[in-house]
């Protein structure tokens, strides 16, 4: 009977052949081969993405996407710029916690109505995402 060893990352039990040898762990193995492959693959994808966006082609692609965004939501960018300027000048004080859940992580400015650029609620990324999934902000009429 083969000895089964638990993976330190995914907790699945596999035979010793399912692990790369490791000098870090006392038993000689830690993460299974599939977890290591997944971690390395994600790292390579991130490195390629960074290299692409640092290239001239990647920079141009980012500019093109931004121009599409500006065409789709003409007033939204101006409202965001005005909000940023108001925070920098002290007209608006950025809260340190989410107004919905009270989380004190990364807090984002949220506009329910883009016609009121200085009317801002401060939401964490999760609450901001949830709000936009269940609601539609009011945009400037054309």
Locus of tokens 């901001």? 128
User: Which pLDDT tens digit goes with each residue over 41-94?
Assistant: 888 888 988 899 999 999 999 999 999 999 988 788 889 999 999 999 999 999
Q: Which residues contact 27 (CB under 8 A, 6 or more apart)?
A: 5
Tokens coding 47: 């490195």
pLDDT of residue 127: 94
Mean pLDDT score across all residues of the chain: 88
Residue 7, pLDDT above cutoff 80: yes
What is the pLDDT averaged over residues 103-122?
91
Residue 124, classed as helix, strand or coil, is strand
* Residues 137, 142: Cα–Cα separation, whole Å: 15
């Amino acid at each position: 009977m083969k000895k089964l060893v638990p993976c330190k990352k995914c907790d699945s039990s596999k035979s010793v052949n399912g692990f790369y040898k490791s000098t870090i762990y006392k038993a000689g193995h830690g993460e299974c081969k599939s977890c290591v492959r997944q971690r390395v693959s994600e790292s390579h994808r991130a490195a390629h993405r960074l290299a692409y966006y640092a290239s001239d082609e990647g920079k141009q692609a980012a500019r093109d996407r931004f121009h599409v965004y500006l065409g789709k939501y003409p007033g939204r960018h101006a409202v965001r710029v005005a909000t940023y300027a108001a925070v920098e000048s002290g007209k608006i004080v950025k809260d340190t916690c989410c107004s919905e859940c009270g989380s004190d992580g990364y807090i984002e400015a949220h506009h329910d109505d883009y016609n009121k650029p200085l009317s801002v609620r401060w939401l964490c990324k999760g609450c901001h995402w949830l709000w936009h999934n269940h609601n539609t902000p009011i945009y400037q009429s054309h």
